[in-house]
């Protein structure tokens, strides 16, 4: 097997660069990627821009009419003219309000459509990622990417994009109107702009790092919560509530620390902008008063206009600055989402990969070598042959490599070298789907979905009829207990089947495997945590399941695999003994010691 089949870790150089300093490393690239999602909505965005233009023009000209009203109508008590201009103002403000509502609606639609696409892409990505990625990443961290991070992007698209667009147009429109009315007062109004820009840049630079850290700490906290809730029984059995509370408090304090720093930096913008705006009002009034007193071309209406325009000019700058909080949080969230979308997927099937088709179950492993990390071999020169209908049992100490062999057979991981064939088909030359469709696995830790018992069994073959489901349940010795449930096969399972016993969950898992009707069956024996009566039922169900198939069994209780056709003893990644039970007992080697030690312990109990 070539090196291309070596396992690739999740991350890679881009991931390392992103995380090296705990802050967004690709803000510009992230913005460009988000824009690619938005570009398909260009007609809606164009209409929103037009609406923003209407709002800006209406607001700017309405403000100018106030100055005209002061100079031409109020000062000479012309109430008819004042009434007409008030009607005109109502039309301007009404049109602006309607345009503002329309653009808000359109951008809300664009934002929701975009984040819906993001959620779909990240969930689809999860289905294409290798098992190694999930082995290294906590469920809480993954949930944080799909929920918290995407929600931050959603808030930015729903609010910030339209706010930024409107603010920019307002700044431009107001500036040109101020220049038209008075250049000296325009200079007086914009004198604080450089200070605002420098302040915003400084705050943005520092807050970006803390918002990235905040999202990462939140992911850590969510991961811890998910883990402790899932293992609550273990926590209580060992009386570790106080220790877990301390761990949570420590993670919570770290989140609090970076959150406070992020909010302090972003929150400081508001007070700074308010002080600068007040300074601008004072400067405009002083300069305007001087020009008016000295006989310059300045009227009370124009000064009033500039007081309002200075607010209209500064308000968008303040709003832009206030968006730093949401934008930085959204950028950090978007980068974390894109990190997942950029993860290395399972190697795709080659162009010449073919469907395996119906198989008998002739499995051969030849000189198989494997390592999770280069230089640390897990399996070394493993050779194994299983004839159709045989049962092969793997025994050995924990960590010997038994489960790893199964993971290679299912292509959850790719081997470093050697070959694995089924009925002469190299599994690396066939499609993954056809390979895995020929296999079925019953794990020690069963997993059931939050759905009815019927649908959990049907998961083995989606086109199965209700009668076929019942037949599979009967073979798995599950039909009787299912029939006695209040809703029978329609009983809803919750929390991974938490409303059933361990043995009942195992029997449903076996029924699912029976329904799938695989040619090759993999069993991770799961009777150690059930009572004797249930164990007998499960063993009988497993016997029904194993009939006529090639079976690979990871054995924990050695007494259960005495009838296996071949027992492979695995230790330190190598098969050190092989044979049936009688042959291995006669050798009085490693297996003999394992069996007799287990037998003696059972006798002692």
Question: 467 and 400 share a domain?
Answer: yes
The domain boundary, picked from 307, 341, 375, lies at 341
Question: 549 and 480 share a domain?
Answer: yes
Question: 448 and 399 share a domain?
Answer: yes
pLDDT band at residue 365 using 50, 70 and 90 as cut-offs: very high
Asked if residue 15 belongs to a domain, the reply is no
Query: pLDDT tens digits, residue range 478-496?
Result: 898 999 988 999 998 877 7
Question: 372 and 328 share a domain?
Answer: no
Question: 563 and 453 share a domain?
Answer: yes
Question: 482 and 529 share a domain?
Answer: yes
CATH code for position 284: 1.20.1560.10
Q: Between 14 and 180, whose confidence is greater?
A: 180
Asked if residue 417 has pLDDT above 70, the reply is yes
- Hey, which bits of 555-596 come out as E strands? 566-571, 574-579
What total number of domains does the chain contain? 2
Alpha carbons 433 and 253: distance in angstroms, whole number = 46
- Hey, which bits of 298-453 come out as E strands? 363-373, 376-386, 391-395, 417-422, 425-426, 439-442
Confidence at residue 527, expressed as pLDDT on a 0 to 100 scale: 55
Confidence at residue 318, expressed as pLDDT on a 0 to 100 scale: 67
Residues spanned by the domain of 144: 30-208+269-341
Instruction: Give 130-158 as a DSSP string.
Output: -HHHHHHS-HHHHHHIIIIIHHHHHHIII
Confidence at residue 325, expressed as pLDDT on a 0 to 100 scale: 65
Contact 335, 212 (CB under 8 A): yes
Read off φ and ψ for residue 552, nearest 5 degrees.
-115, 125
CATH code for position 450: 3.40.50.300
Confidence at residue 532, expressed as pLDDT on a 0 to 100 scale: 63
Asked if residue 526 belongs to a domain, the reply is yes
Asked if residue 503 has pLDDT above 60, the reply is yes
Asked if residue 254 belongs to a domain, the reply is no
Query: pLDDT tens digits, residue range 20-49?
Result: 333 445 677 888 888 888 888 889 888 988
The domain boundary, picked from 311, 341, 371, lies at 341
Alpha carbons 33 and 124: distance in angstroms, whole number = 18
Q: Between 292 and 5, whose confidence is greater?
A: 292
What is the pTM (predicted TM-score) of this model?
0.68
For the chain, first and last CA: distance in Å? Answer: 48
Question: 94 and 171 share a domain?
Answer: yes
Asked if residue 24 belongs to a domain, the reply is no
Span 155-167, average pLDDT: 79
Calculate what percentage of the chain has a pLDDT beyond 90: 13
Alpha carbons 432 and 428: distance in angstroms, whole number = 8
How does the average pLDDT of the chain come out, rounded?
Answer: 81
Asked if residue 253 belongs to a domain, the reply is no
Asked if residue 559 belongs to a domain, the reply is yes
Question: 334 and 384 share a domain?
Answer: no
Which segment of 14-28, 86-100, 202-216 scores lowest on mean pLDDT? 14-28
Q: Which three-class secondary structure string do you get for 505-518?
A: HHHHHHHHHHHHCC
- What SS3 class is residue 175? helix
Question: 498 and 531 share a domain?
Answer: yes
DSSP state of 557: S
Asked if residue 371 belongs to a domain, the reply is yes
Question: 320 and 395 share a domain?
Answer: no
DSSP state of 430: B
Question: 429 and 309 share a domain?
Answer: no
pLDDT band at residue 211 using 50, 70 and 90 as cut-offs: confident
Instruction: Give 340-382 as a DSSP string.
Output: HHTSPPPPPPPTT-B---S----EEEEEEEEEEETTEEEEEEE
Question: 449 and 567 share a domain?
Answer: yes
How many Cβ atoms are within 10 Å of 246's Cβ, its own excluded?
A: 11
Asked if residue 283 belongs to a domain, the reply is yes
Span 338-345, average pLDDT: 87
The domain boundary, picked from 292, 309, 341, lies at 341
């Amino acid at each position: 097997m070539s090196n291309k089949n070596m396992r690739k870790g999740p991350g890679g150089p881009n991931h390392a660069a992103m995380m090296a300093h705990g802050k967004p490393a690709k803000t510009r690239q992230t913005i460009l990627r988000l824009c690619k999602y938005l570009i398909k909505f260009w007609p809606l965005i164009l209409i929103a821009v037009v609406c923003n233009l209407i709002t800006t023009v209406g607001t700017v000209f309405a403000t100018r009419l106030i100055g005209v009203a002061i100079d031409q109508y109020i000062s000479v008590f012309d109430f008819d003219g004042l009434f007409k201009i008030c009607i005109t103002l109502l039309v301007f403000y009404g049109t602006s309000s309607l345009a503002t509502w329309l653009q808000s609606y359109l951008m809300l639609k664009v934002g929701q459509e975009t984040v819906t696409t993001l959620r779909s892409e990240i969930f689809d990505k999860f289905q294409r990622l290798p098992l190694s990625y999930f082995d290294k990443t906590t469920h809480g961290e993954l949930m944080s990417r799909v929920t918290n991070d995407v929600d931050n992007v959603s808030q930015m698209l729903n609010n910030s994009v339209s706010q930024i667009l409107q603010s920019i147009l307002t700044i431009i429109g107001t500036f040109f109107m101020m220049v038209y009315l008075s250049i000296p007062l325009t200079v007086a109004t914009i004198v604080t702009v450089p200070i605002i820009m420098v302040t915003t840049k400084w705050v943005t630079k520092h807050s970006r790092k803390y918002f990235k850290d905040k999202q990462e700490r939140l992911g850590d906290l969510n991961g811890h919560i998910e883990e402790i809730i899932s293992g609550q029984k273990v926590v209580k059995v060992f009386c570790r509530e106080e220790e877990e509370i301390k761990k949570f408090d420590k993670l919570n304090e770290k989140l609090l620390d970076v959150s406070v720093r992020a909010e302090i930096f972003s929150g400081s913008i508001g007070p700074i902008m308010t002080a600068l705006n007040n300074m601008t009002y004072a400067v405009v009034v002083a300069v305007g008063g001087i020009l008016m007193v000295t006989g310059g071309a300045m009227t009370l209406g124009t000064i009033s206009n500039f007081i309002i325009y200075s607010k209209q000019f500064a308000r968008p700058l303040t709003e832009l600055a206030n968006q730093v909080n949401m934008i930085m949080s959204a950028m950090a969230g978007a980068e974390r989402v894109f990190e997942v979308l950029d993860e290395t997927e399972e190697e795709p099937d080659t162009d010449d990969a073919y469907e395996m088709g119906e198989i008998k179950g002739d499995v051969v492993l030849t000189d198989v070598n494997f390592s999770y990390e280069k230089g640390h071999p897990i399996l070394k020169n493993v050779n194994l042959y299983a004839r159709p209908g045989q049962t092969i049992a793997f025994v050995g100490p924990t960590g010997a490599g038994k489960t790893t062999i199964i993971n290679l057979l299912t292509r959850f991981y790719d081997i470093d070298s050697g070959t694995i064939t089924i009925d002469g088909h190299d599994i690396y030359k066939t499609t993954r789907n056809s390979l895995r469709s020929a296999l079925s696995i019953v794990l020690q830790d069963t997993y059931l979905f939050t759905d009815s018992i019927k649908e959990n069994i049907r998961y083995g073959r989606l086109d199965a009829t209700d009668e076929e489901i019942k037949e599979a349940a009967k073979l798995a010795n599950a039909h009787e207990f299912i029939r006695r449930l209040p809703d029978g096969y329609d009983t809803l399972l919750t929390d991974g089947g938490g409303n059933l016993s361990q043995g009942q969950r195992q029997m449903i898992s076996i029924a699912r495997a029976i329904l799938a009707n695989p040619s090759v069956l993999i069993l991770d024996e799961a009777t150690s945590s059930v009572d004797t009566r249930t164990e007998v039922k499960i063993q009988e169900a497993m016997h029904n399941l194993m009939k006529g198939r090639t079976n690979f069994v990871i054995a924990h209780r050695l007494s259960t695999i005495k009838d296996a056709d071949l027992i492979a003893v695995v230790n330190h990644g190598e098969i050190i003994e092989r044979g049936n039970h009688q042959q291995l007992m006669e050798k009085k080697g490693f297996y003999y010691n394992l069996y007799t030690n287990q037998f003696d312990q059972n006798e002692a109990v």
